[in-house]
């Protein structure tokens, strides 16, 4: 009996210590708390630039529209950040690996982006009613093109030797089978 009690005392001590530490941490987070969680986004220079251009007197309408399009492109990037983080953080929050402050900051960032999208759509309607339906499509295409342009040139060069190899095969292949010739003739599309 004393052996069992002696074996249980360290586990009871550790359990009590962990429960106390967790309640102190919860108290600190709730009542003392962090004034704010880390920002989800970088500085929003595009919005500031748009507001400055919009307020300027001698700026052409096309400059203001271009600035709004850049603002929409930055908004697409921010939406992508939130949408990529949400599933993982949701899973971590459900398993209680992250605290509620981090989850709340993600939801606030998502709400901020929803209001930003609505604001951009309203601004686009002022220029042309139909542009409000297409501004984000254009911004998404611009953002995707910008991402593709960031692919390192080393990765692009890796595809070149394969195309050269297929070109050699094409020159050596003299069969009349149309399917095979079609595949080999379209090797030029790899460049």
**pLDDT the model gives residue 180:** 46
| Alpha-carbon distance values, 131 to 52, 54, 135 (Å) | 21, 17, 6
Q: What is the pLDDT of residues 62-85, one digit of tens each?
A: 999 999 999 999 999 999 999 999
126 and 64, same structural domain? Answer: yes
Q: How many CB atoms lie within 10 A of CB 160?
A: 11
pTM of the model: 0.61
Is there a contact between 175 and 112 (Cβ–Cβ < 8 Å)?
no
126 and 88, same structural domain? Answer: yes
DSSP 129: T
Q: Which domain holds residue 18?
A: 1-33
Q: What is the pLDDT of residues 143-189, one digit of tens each?
A: 999 888 877 766 656 555 555 555 666 566 545 444 444 444 444 44
State the chain's maximal CA–CA distance in angstroms: 91
182 and 110, same structural domain? Answer: no
């Amino acid at each position: 009996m004393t052996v069992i009690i002696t074996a249980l005392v360290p586990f009871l001590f550790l359990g009590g210590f962990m429960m106390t530490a967790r309640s102190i941490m919860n108290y600190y987070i709730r009542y003392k708390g962090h004034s704010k969680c880390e920002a989800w986004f970088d500085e929003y220079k595009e919005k500031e630039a748009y507001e400055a251009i919009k307020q300027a007197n001698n700026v052409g309408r096309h400059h203001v529209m271009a600035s709004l399009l850049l603002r929409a492109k930055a908004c697409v990037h921010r939406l992508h950040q939130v949408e990529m983080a949400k599933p993982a953080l949701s899973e971590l929050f459900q398993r209680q690996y992250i605290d509620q402050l981090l989850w709340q900051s993600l939801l606030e960032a998502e709400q901020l982006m929803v209001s930003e999208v609505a604001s951009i759509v309203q601004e686009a309607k002022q220029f042309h009613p139909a542009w409000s339906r297409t501004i984000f499509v254009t911004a998404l295409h611009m953002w995707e093109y910008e991402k593709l342009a960031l692919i390192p040139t080393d990765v692009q060069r890796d595809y070149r030797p394969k195309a050269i190899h297929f070109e050699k095969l094409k020159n050596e292949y003299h069969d009349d089978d149309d399917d095979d010739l079609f595949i080999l003739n379209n090797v030029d599309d790899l460049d």
